[in-house]
């Protein structure tokens, strides 16, 4: 099997990095070996930091959207392709099976929906274990905002009122106004991050920026009533519809544009059993397995929290949850189930770059900044610093 080595590490060949086959008797006590597949560099890096925390040897398969992963000092890219959607499952499975025969792979983990979809396409060909994963129809159902909205309605999970639009030129602004009121939010039914989201103030804004706009390739979108208030979130790890670990959080200062650094990365974890109940209801209904993140919003008008969407993949706040005490990757790895708390309860996380703000310095001096997660965050960042730097240079987070 011929590998493509896509790493800046000097003088190390793939043959040198891959050990000879390991006897079954020695596998129980050896380091974990994991194949990490990623489409988004940020998601891959979040998983990589969890794997490095357990000293796993990590092999990476990535596409052009995750070029920053090639600069990792703590993993090896063994194969790179233009896009995971176009990957040949037989070729990728052959690469992974060859690694397994040489090195003993403990898990194959996909950091995002695209990589999980690839794993599902080749699962029958793989000879090694796979990280907990849901069937393709479950991933598609949770990843599609319209399907997810309908799922929430069926299981009495509160959601903002939502309409499906498959043809923007036929959208009736008067109907939209009567059904949802103004403003409204328009989102691609399937999307990542904030791409393609519009907040439309009134009827004229809706007509000019949505109905008459040139959409190019026009995917289905949802049109949703706008909720004024802060975003909340819930992260989970589940197996066969049972939530084993969860954490709920809100970002302080997210509505304050003057908050600056840390506006969306500083995190307040809260013991919100009500949010966990919402997630558990949906996870049980879909028999979901794996890692997922639910986005919610507090509606200041009604003082209620309503579910917005689900991201059935690894998520950005995993760095914060792990620093505080719950790692969502660990329970899916050999030997780590049951080794950490089920949830976080109340806790605070501030990223290391808050050290460069007056607010952060005051927290540190006043003893309001827990030192243990700060030290862990700085140590992990310095352990493998090039990936986030190169992600910024390559502008990965802005690319489609």
Domains and CATH numbers, the chain: 14-131 (3.40.50.720), 161-225 (3.30.1490.20), 231-349 (3.30.470.20)
Alpha-carbon Rg for the chain in angstroms: 22
Which tokens hold the place of 43? 């998601």
Q: Is the pLDDT of residue 264 over 80?
A: no
Question: Above pLDDT 90, what percent of the chain?
Answer: 72
Find the farthest-apart pair of alpha carbons in the chain and give their distance in angstroms, rounded: 71
pLDDT band of 164, cuts 50, 70, 90:
very high
pLDDT of residue 16: 30
Cα–Cα distance measured from residue 78 to residue 76, given in angstroms and rounded to the nearest whole number: 6
Assess contact for 116 and 47: CB atoms under 8 A.
no
Cα dist. 308→152, 153, 305, 361 in Å?
Answer: 9, 12, 10, 35
Considering only 115-124, 225-234, 254-263, 383-392, which range has the smallest mean pLDDT? 254-263
Least Cα distance to 136 among 123, 145, 126, 151 occurs for: 123
Cα–Cα distance measured from residue 400 to residue 384, given in angstroms and rounded to the nearest whole number: 25
Mean pLDDT score across all residues of the chain: 88
**pLDDT (mean) for 265-278:** 94
pLDDT band of 3, cuts 50, 70, 90:
very low
pTM: 0.89
Cα–Cα distance measured from residue 27 to residue 319, given in angstroms and rounded to the nearest whole number: 29
pLDDT in tens, 286-331: 999 999 999 999 999 899 999 999 999 999 999 999 999 999 999 9
Q: Are strands 198-200 and 231-239 parallel, antiparallel or unpaired?
A: unpaired
Q: Is the pLDDT of residue 92 over 50?
A: yes
Q: Are strands 33-38 and 107-110 parallel, antiparallel or unpaired?
A: parallel
Residue with tokens 């990757």: 329
What lies within 8 Å, CB to CB, of 109 at 6+ separation is 34, 35, 36, 37, 47, 130, 131, 329, 332
Assess contact for 293 and 233: CB atoms under 8 A.
yes
pLDDT of residue 400: 55
pLDDT band of 38, cuts 50, 70, 90:
very high
**pLDDT (mean) for 3-14:** 36
**pLDDT (mean) for 9-21:** 35
pLDDT of residue 167: 83
Quote the crossing angle between the two packed helices 136-143 and 145-154, to the nearest 10°: 90
**pLDDT (mean) for 152-159:** 97
**pLDDT (mean) for 154-162:** 96
Cα–Cα distance measured from residue 197 to residue 183, given in angstroms and rounded to the nearest whole number: 13
pLDDT in tens, 125-138: 999 999 999 999 99
pLDDT band of 23, cuts 50, 70, 90:
very low
59: helix, strand or coil: strand
pLDDT band of 214, cuts 50, 70, 90:
low
- Give the residue with greater pLDDT, 397 vs 82: 82
pLDDT of residue 253: 78
Q: Starting from the edge strand earliest in sequence, which strands make up the sheet with 57-63, in order?
A: 76-81, 57-63, 33-38, 107-110
Q: Is the pLDDT of residue 6 over 80?
A: no
Cα–Cα distance measured from residue 282 to residue 138, given in angstroms and rounded to the nearest whole number: 11
What lies within 8 Å, CB to CB, of 230 at 6+ separation is 250, 251, 254, 255, 297, 298
């Amino acid at each position: 099997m011929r590998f493509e080595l896509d790493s800046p590490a000097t003088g190390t060949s793939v043959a040198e990095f891959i050990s000879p086959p390991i006897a079954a008797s020695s596998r129980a006590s050896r380091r974990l070996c994991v194949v990490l597949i990623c489409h988004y560099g940020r998601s891959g890096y979040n998983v990589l930091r969890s794997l490095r925390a357990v000293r796993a040897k990590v092999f990476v398969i990535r596409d052009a959207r995750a070029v920053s992963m090639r600069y990792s000092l703590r993993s090896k890219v063994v194969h790179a392709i233009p896009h995971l959607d176009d990957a040949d499952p037989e070729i990728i499975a052959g690469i992974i099976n060859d690694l397994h025969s040489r090195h003993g792979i403990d898990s194959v983990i996909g950091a995002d929906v695209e990589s999980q979809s690839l794993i599902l396409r080749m699962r029958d060909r793989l000879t090694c274990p796979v990280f907990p994963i849901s069937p393709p129809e479950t991933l598609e159902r949770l990843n599609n905002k319209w399907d997810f909205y309908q799922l929430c309605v069926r299981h009495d999970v509160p959601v903002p009122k939502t309409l499906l639009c498959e043809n923007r030129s036929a959208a009736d602004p008067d109907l939209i106004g009567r059904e949802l009121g103004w403003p409204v939010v328009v989102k691609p039914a399937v999307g990542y991050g904030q791409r393609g989201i519009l907040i439309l103030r009134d009827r004229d804004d809706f007509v000019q920026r949505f109905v008459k706009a040139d959409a190019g390739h026009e995917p289905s979108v949802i049109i949703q009533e706008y909720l004024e208030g802060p975003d909340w979130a819930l992260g989970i790890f589940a197996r066969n519809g049972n939530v084993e670990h969860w954490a709920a959080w809100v970002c302080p200062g997210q509505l304050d544009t003057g908050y600056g650094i840390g506006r969306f990365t500083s995190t307040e974890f809260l013991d919100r059993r009500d949010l966990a109940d919402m997630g558990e209801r949906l996870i049980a209904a879909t028999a979901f397995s794996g890692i997922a993140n639910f986005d919610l919003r507090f509606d200041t008008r009604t003082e209620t929290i309503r579910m917005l969407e689900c991201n059935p993949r690894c998520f950005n706040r995993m760095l914060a949850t792990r620093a505080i005490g719950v790692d969502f990757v660990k329970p899916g790895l050999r030997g780590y189930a049951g080794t950490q708390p089920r949830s976080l309860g109340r806790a605070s996380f501030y990223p290391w770059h808050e050290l460069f703000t007056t607010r952060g310095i005051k927290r540190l001096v006043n003893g309001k900044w827990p030192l243990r997660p700060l030290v862990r965050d700085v140590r992990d960042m310095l352990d493998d610093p090039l990936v986030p730097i190169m992600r910024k240079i390559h502008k990965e987070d802005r690319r489609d």
